[in-house]
Structure 1
Amino acid sequence: MKNIAVILAGGVGNRLGLNKPKQLLKVAGKTVIEHTIEVFQKHILIDEIIIVMYESYVHDIEKMALKNNWTKVKKIINGGNERYESSLAAITASSGDNGEETNIIFHDSVRPLVSERIISDVINALNKYEAVDVAIPAVDTIIKVDEHKKFIFDIPDRSYLKRGQTPQGFRLNTIKNAYALALKDNKFNATDDCGIVKKYLPQIPIFVVDGEEGNIKLTYPEDIYLLDKLFQIKSATLDDGIKLENLNNKVLIIFGGNSGIGQDMVNIAKSYKAKVYSFSRSQTGTDISSKEDIEMALDFVYSKEGKIDFVVNTAAILNKEPIMHLKQEEIKKIIDVNYLGIVNITVSAFKYLKLSNGHILHFTSSSYTKGRAFYSLYSSTKAAVVNFVQAIAEEWDLYDIKINCINPQRTKTPMRIKNFGIEDDNTLLKSEDVASISLKTLLSNFTGEVVDIKLRNDWSNLK
């Protein structure tokens, strides 16, 4: 079954009061539509992409497709004044391709945070159903007002109500037949494609896939700021199919591999026959705040192995005490290790990872989203890690170098025990579990992502 994603980008941004379509606004370094298309471009189940754009901006999207090397974008076509006209244009553009069975997946261009999981669930549901919607529960009480829109007419039972999102997926012939009937109706009116199937093909069940609160639509001015923040904190979901056996013969360098998560990564990677080199102050006298030390370590490994596939930095300093209690030299040391260290490692690794199309991995902390009292420097430097990783991912996209960061919840490590003392093990992640997921991240195709690792009862299927 062929899967065609249709990115509906025909809007002109009237509600935002803009002089250009809202999908061309920049958020988190790229236009909204670029973020959206890249999700579908990278999705393994999507075969082709059709972009339906407001006529005056088609040329802009054509240039964008060339610049970003969107290999799956096969057609960029004019949209209509109404949403249904844009959908219909895409349906027509999808028809007649060698009689091949086709699914068509419509998505709003201004929902750039759609997850890989949602797209996969929609496509998988189309193996059984002919029409699929995406929705989230209605968390607020919904009221129905009278014709004057001033008084409550009814309060529906919220347990049966959901808020619709996109994508919406259909067998091509199903949505095509629904539109054929709709166009014969003089009173035809619909706000989305599932509504057309529901009205004109009522015998077709429409399956509902769980959406996500983060899959928001850019509609109002304040949404721009919300999207920007959501991009900063968004996390990737690791594919359970990634196998650690693929570490075999990979060359892996770990800075901070003397204890905790780093040490577990060393041991696990070696058990899967990776060629692992660990550097730290206690092991090799390597100080990551010294660019010279980093370059010596990388050069040593490259001279022995002839390649470097992965570079990982787990080194960090946590002092849990008020900043006014810290001496200036202690403040400088924390910043040098926690921030300058990641810059040194990243910059120094570039020439080696460019040759191998490799992967660099840093570590943030759950404290990066909000500064915490008594470890202000740790929280702020971990926020800097996220911003740095996201920025470098964009800069290095042309070189096919992947860079990500791991965001583990509270993890039992020597550094945590030193700062927090004895805690209930049931409330902490095991460092070997974090290490295992981190190694799988190195084998993924992610870049610029925050990979959350949260406490769960059983990690065995991810090891």
Structure 2
Amino acid sequence: MQNYQAPEGLLVDKVILVTGASDGIGKEAAKSYAKLGATVILHGRDTNKLEKVYDEIVEAGLPQPAIIPLNLVNASTEQFKSLAETIQTELGRLDGILHNAGMLNELTPIEFTNSETWHQIMQVNINAVYLLTQACLPILREAPNASIIMTSSGVGRKGRAYWGPYAVSKFAIEGFVQVLADELEGSTIRVNAINPGATRTQMRAKAYPAEDQKHLATPEQIIPTYLYLMGDDSLEVNGQSIDAQQK
């Protein structure tokens, strides 16, 4: 699926929510979904950045997207419910969610990890994923076939020193995918995780500031897996954690 060739019109008439859509992988995924016919809901905390992505999609003559800004660090349960209600009222359906938004700490031993940082990363990387998914499940159930994609990491499968709350949050994502996929087995909703691997993004640069990013895959190069899991060619795939890059 890393070399998946998406057929034209794969996502026509689908409505897909992409969190963290203002930069990097989220931005590329949102644009790619739109190119295949989807109405994309752009989520992020920076409205100006989201508007730029919006403009790029509209100027390309693609389906008009929507923007829903929300800071996941301090978002409440009620705000997630309101977000879902807005989608239902304004767009009438939801066929997929790409949980791409994430937060990374500076690489630090657990002994010296700031407790506020720990809580913020858990809030963005796992709590918000749970709350948003829970709020949107009733709408997703109405879709003929719906896909939820969560973002994992290599350090969410095997712990590594100094990755602290980020690694722990990704272990939680792996578990959440397995539990939710088992609960939804036999339904019209499938749930999977993607490990993007080393990708040319701002988050990667933060983790490895001395790294030459020119040798890394670009978001565009890893998008085939995101297309495969969002489209109907993956209807039988559920509860899997998949690498976006071949090893």
For the superposition of Structure 1 and Structure 2, which TM-score range results when normalised by the shorter chain? 0.7 to 0.9
Match of 1:305 in 2: 91
SS in 2 for 1:411: coil
In 1, Cα distance between equivalents of 2:3 and 2:93: 26
Alignment of 1:147-226 (within 5 A): none
TM-score computed with the length of structure 1 as normaliser = 0.45
SS in 2 for 1:421: coil
State the structure with bigger RCO (CA 8 A, min sep 6), 1 or 2: 2
Match of 2:218 in 1: 430
Alignment of 1:399-438 (within 5 A): 399-425=187-213, 427-438=215-226
Root mean square deviation, CA, Å: 2.1
Match of 2:7 in 1: 243
Cα distance, 1:455 vs structure 2:
4.8
Cα distance, 1:297 vs structure 2:
2.1
In 2, Cα distance between equivalents of 1:334 and 1:360: 21
The answer to whether the 8 Å contact 1:238/1:451 transfers is no
Question: What is the percent sequence identity of the aligned residues?
Answer: 26
SS in 2 for 1:334: helix
In 2, Cα distance between equivalents of 1:425 and 1:329: 30
Q: Which runs of 5+ in 2 are unaligned?
A: 48-68
Aligned residues: 220
Q: Which runs of 5+ in 1 are unaligned?
A: 1-236, 457-463
Deviates more, 1:248-257 or 1:266-275: 266-275
In 2, Cα distance between equivalents of 1:314 and 1:334: 14
In 2, Cα distance between equivalents of 1:275 and 1:260: 19
SS in 2 for 1:335: helix
Cα distance, 1:390 vs structure 2:
1.1
Match of 1:287 in 2: 72
Q: Are the structure 2 counterparts of residues 427 and 241 from structure 1 closer, same or farther at C-alpha, using a change threshold of 3 Å?
A: closer
Cα distance, 1:238 vs structure 2:
6.3
In 2, Cα distance between equivalents of 1:267 and 1:331: 32
Cα distance, 1:438 vs structure 2:
0.8
In 2, Cα distance between equivalents of 1:411 and 1:392: 27
Q: Are the structure 2 counterparts of residues 424 and 245 from structure 1 closer, same or farther at C-alpha, using a change threshold of 3 Å?
A: farther
The answer to whether the 8 Å contact 1:252/1:275 transfers is yes
The answer to whether the 8 Å contact 1:359/1:442 transfers is yes
Deviation digits for residues 116-163 of structure 1 (CA, Å, limit 9, x no counterpart): xxxxxxxxxxxxxxxxxxxxxxxxxxxxxxxxxxxxxxxxxxxxxxxx
TM-score computed with the length of structure 2 as normaliser = 0.81
Return the index of the structure with the highest Cα Rg: 1
**Residue 275 in structure 1 maps to residue 66 in structure 2:** no
2:227 counterpart (432, 439, 442) = 439
Q: Are the structure 2 counterparts of residues 429 and 348 from structure 1 closer, same or farther at C-alpha, using a change threshold of 3 Å?
A: same
Match of 2:137 in 1: 350
Cα distance, 1:244 vs structure 2:
5.5
Q: Are the structure 2 counterparts of residues 264 and 242 from structure 1 closer, same or farther at C-alpha, using a change threshold of 3 Å?
A: closer
